[in-house]
Amino acid sequence: MSPPSSYSPRPLSDRPDAHFVARAEAVRKQQAALYIGAGVSGDSGLPLSDGLVDLIGHAVFSELGLSATTIESGTGLERNKSLEAIADEAEALGSGAVPALRSIVLTSAPFQLARPNYSHLAIAFLLWEGLVSVFSANWDECVEKAATTVGFALQTTVTDADRAHRFREALFHKVHGCASVASSLLLTTSQISSAPAWAASEVQSALSGKTVIFLGLGTVGQYVQTRLRHVLSSVPPSSANYLLVSPGNPSAAFASLLADGANHNHHDAYASRFLDDLLRALWSRVLSAVTGRAETMVRSATWANDGILRGVENLKTALRASDALSVLVWMRRACGGVLPGRPAAMHVDGETLLLGLAATANSRSLSVRGSLGAFTMELEGRYVELALWPGKSAHMLVDQEVARIDGRAAEGHYDDAEKPVLHLCLGQDGPLPSRGVPGDLVDEGPEDSLLEPRMNHEWLSVRGILDGGRTPSLA
């Protein structure tokens, strides 16, 4: 199996295998954590540990007088030293050598400039929803950039001091430092040999009772193994489940870390494919819940006919060729009233938004196009956007959503700026702009917009639709 140079996610019509039902449920219930390594950033052009030593070899010799290779006794073959061994030799040279090595390492590959790949974007979505905590052995800033790309600022801990003060407030922990803070990079045995206080005090509570999923760690550098052992030793094997995701068989290094668990709890896949399967399973779980609620409404006669079920099938058909990440990011961007790190798309409110969408769609013409930030949905001559602002005023919802959607228009995401945008809204306090009975819509919105082109906005209350028990008029 060759690693994908640029991963193309599978369509929602391609159901993941049955194993992902339980995995998705653990993630949905916030009972999973990720520990990610260099393999996650491979598609972004960043090296694995041995490849990194190849890249720094010349500079290490010319600037520090150290060799990055050694001769194996017995075979006489030349092989790379571990990065940790090179760092220990640099440390022995004097106080200035380790900072110099850090500089060599950071200029050997684009750790700060690399663009996020599919895996980073998928991880960012899971963090946005607060579904997982993530421990990263990587120095790059790709997950942080992915968070910005999808639409939020990611709280991150980089140093042990960070984690001592705000471990529980952040969900993303860079346990080997960050490329943007050169002094934070942990390289030498002395820097990583002692278990940090947070590993014992905070990791146990963060990981106990959860499924810990290792991604991009098929090959594990020695300097990564040491910190990984600290984390694993903080959580008794009986109190957590482990899943190693890597192509092929587990490496000898990982087999020594997890013993029998490396073989018995192994999923043969690259990180990108695993995360894609996981997101499709999460979407399937949400859509199943929406279908169940629609069926209950029809059986109990709280919905006038089976139009809401036709709407669910219409939605499934429209999204068959779309990928899960694009649809889920589109949903999460609509949840501006929910803080990052808290579930929204995966929450019952997310299901309710989709139920309102299905009720509105019925058998009407429904289509989608684009991916990620450019994903759009159309319903009978108008674009559709969701909006979740729990406990916020309807006035605030309207202001925020008009600004968000007009911003999308300015970025060229809507092919026809003359078409109105229908907002399906949930959680707001107070009435939405309307001239008709609750649940009917009008084209109304703020007159003063500095963005061009300004869209025409229409508003529907999802609660009004569902309480009304009928498909709303779009006339």
Are 199 and 130 found together in one domain?
yes
The answer as to whether 451 is a domain residue is yes
- Residue range 195-199: average pLDDT? 65
The tokens of 440 are what? 């009917």
Are 260 and 288 found together in one domain?
no
pLDDT in tens, 384-413: 999 999 999 999 999 999 999 999 999 999
Count of beta carbons in the 10 Å neighbourhood of residue 13: 12
**Partners of 57 in the beta sheet?**
none
pTM score of the predicted model: 0.91
Are 289 and 437 found together in one domain?
yes
| Last residue within a domain, chosen from 63, 85, 108 | 108
The answer as to whether 6 is a domain residue is no
Are 310 and 381 found together in one domain?
yes
Please, what is the average pLDDT of the chain? 87
The answer as to whether 2 is a domain residue is no
Domain count, the chain: 3
Are 253 and 352 found together in one domain?
no
The answer as to whether 446 is a domain residue is yes
Are 422 and 337 found together in one domain?
yes
**Partners of 78 in the beta sheet?**
71
- Residue range 110-132: average pLDDT? 96
Give the pLDDT band (50/70/90) at residue 455: confident
Nearest of 424, 405, 420 to residue 465 by alpha carbon: 424
**Separation between Cα atoms, residue 28 and residue 231, nearest integer Å:** 23
- Residue range 181-185: average pLDDT? 91
Are 384 and 238 found together in one domain?
no
The answer as to whether 278 is a domain residue is no
The answer as to whether 8 is a domain residue is no
Are 96 and 179 found together in one domain?
no
Beta strands 211-215; 241-245: pairing state: parallel
Which one-letter DSSP state was computed for residue 251? Answer: P
Are 55 and 131 found together in one domain?
no
The answer as to whether 4 is a domain residue is no
The answer as to whether 121 is a domain residue is yes
CATH number at residue 34: 3.40.50.1220
Find the domain containing 446 and state its range: 284-468
